[in-house]
Structure 1
Amino acid sequence: MREEDQAAQRGAANIPRSDNDRAKLVLQLLAQGAAKTPEDKFNAALVLEHTPLTFCGERMISYGSYNYLLAHYLAKEAFEGGFKDAGILVAAAIDRYLSFTEGHQKYGTNRIINQKTGAEELVPIDRDVPDSERAKYGVPPLAQLLKMYPEQKRENSTGKK
């Protein structure tokens, strides 16, 4: 299923299942206790991290934001279990979860397309996370991220910029 997920992300044609179908299947497999090894957990996390998004007005929302949180914990278990490729997914999954639930991210892995300008922008990044923590999971330092992409303005608690 990992290969199918990755092919879908690259835009391959004739993928037998949608992102949503794959996420549902992974949830069923997790409920059956099928994810036993660090690699199994990584593969499950990868599929869940691609839970579909849709627009609601001008905002993108997730069909299942809690799937991103579960993906984070699965990736973290895989990483701590020795599957080092899971490091970036530990950061990316929690960033995606926070981006779509809180409007900011922890590490700086999540970018979106500004629907007004067409520019790719970083979702606002938590300045309290040290670069040493980013490096642990394979994320570039904050200064490097900000040179690569502009950062969206953080909305205040009322939802206004």
Structure 2
Amino acid sequence: MAGWLQAKRASALMGQEKYAEALALYEQARAAGNTDERAAYSAACAAALLGKRKDALDWLSHAVQAGFRDVAWMKQDKDLEPLRDDPAFVALAERIPTLPERHPYSTEELKQLFTEDQADRQGPLTPEDWKRISPRDARRRQRVQELLAQGALREAADFLAAGFIFQHGKTLEDYALARQMGAEAAKRGHPSGLWLAAAAWDRWLMHADRPQRFGTQYRGDGPDKAMKLYPVDPSVTDEERARWGFPPLAEIPTGMRMQ
């Protein structure tokens, strides 16, 4: 996608709380023709955090035009809290449910499974939380396996949802399926499919005790929840990463903190 590198760099800056620099890069990405809903939404967050309400609302409208539909998350996102009393924000939140999905699902059940999978991962999570989530993840994987066997997955969004659910599995077989589902989503036109295929590939390699290729995986380092970039295969070039939509290795953060 046009402007992808600027958007990736902006995303990294968002993680470092460098909102002004990130917003400038998001603006460059949009000027280059970038239409990624996630980039536009993140730009709205950056603008809101900088106190630029008008710009934030403009970016949020752009995200919706590009396909953003998660109104529930938009309403609770702390980054957008400065906008919540704005009539334009309220009107946009009311309009989103009336808009068609850019990437529709074949079945409401699969959409609901994905929604539940993502909801289980919102907010700070304790070890006790994960003990409750793990059985739910297992049930979701089992149901998606059944739907896959029945041939119920037809649309790009179906395969992406299935891929994320398998990505949250525990075995090499789960991660292999996640990679396969991500690749199929990408073939069918979903802009997130290629990222998922790459991330699942990296996760498979990490759990097989091999270096990852793209730099998507981090591992915890001690009780303070600090995360370090898992070792990356030095034979994979930045040109190869670029073909998959990733920035140069030198620009990938070597550490991060879990929220």
Tell me the TM-score normalised to structure 1 length.
0.74
- Determine whether 1:131 maps to 2:243: no
User: Which residue identity lines up with residue 131 of structure 1 in the other structure?
Assistant: D
**Corresponding residue SS for 2:192:** helix
Residue 128 of structure 1: CA displacement?
Answer: 1.8
Normalising by structure 2, report the TM-score: 0.48
Higher RCO structure (Cα 8 Å, ≥6 apart)? 1
2:176 is the counterpart of 1:47: no
| Amino-acid identity (%) | 35
2:143 aligned to 25, 28, 32, which one? 25
Amino acid at match of 1:76: A
Question: 2:194 maps to which residue?
Answer: 87
The residue matched to 1:103 in structure 2 has which SS? coil
* Paired AA for residue 181 in structure 2: L
Give distance in 2, aligned partners of 1:138 and 1:9. Answer: 24
Q: CA RMSD in A?
A: 2.3
Post-superposition shift, 1:118? 4.6
Match of 1:9 in 2: 121
- The alpha-carbon deviation at position 125 of structure 1 amounts to 0.6
Q: What amino acid sits opposite 2:197 in the alignment?
A: V
The residue type equivalent to 2:119 in the other structure is A
Q: Does the CA-based 8 Å contact 1:109-1:139 persist in structure 2?
A: no
Shift in Å at residue 102 of structure 1?
Answer: 2.9
Q: Answer yes or no: is 1:149 the counterpart of 2:254.
A: yes
Give secondary structure in 2 for the equivalent of 1:112: strand
Aligned counterpart, 2:83: none
> Using the alignment, how far apart are the partners of 2:216 and 2:139 within structure 1?
25
- Cα separation, 2, equivalents of 1:117 and 1:101: 25
Q: Which structure dedicates a bigger proportion of its chain to strand?
A: 1
SS at match of 2:213: coil
Deviation (angstroms), 1:132? 2.8
Between 1:118-127 and 1:129-138, the stretch displaced more is: 129-138
- Secondary structure (helix, strand or coil) at the match of 2:204 reads helix
Question: Larger Cα Rg: Structure 1 or Structure 2?
Answer: 2
Q: Matched residues in 2 for 1:20 and 1:65: separation?
A: 14
Superimposed CA distance per residue, residues 7-49 of structure 1 (whole angstroms, 9 cap, x where no aligned partner): 111148898x711111111111111111112221111001110
- Hey, what's the Cα distance between the residues in 2 that align with 1:80 and 1:129? 23
Instruction: Note the residue ranges of structure 2 that are not aligned, 5 or more in a row.
Output: 1-112
Question: Which ranges of structure 1 fall in alignment gaps of 5 or more residues?
Answer: 52-61, 151-161
Q: C-alpha separation between the residues in 1 aligned to 2:244 and 2:168?
A: 19
For 1:4, give the aligned amino acid. E
How many residues align? The count is 136
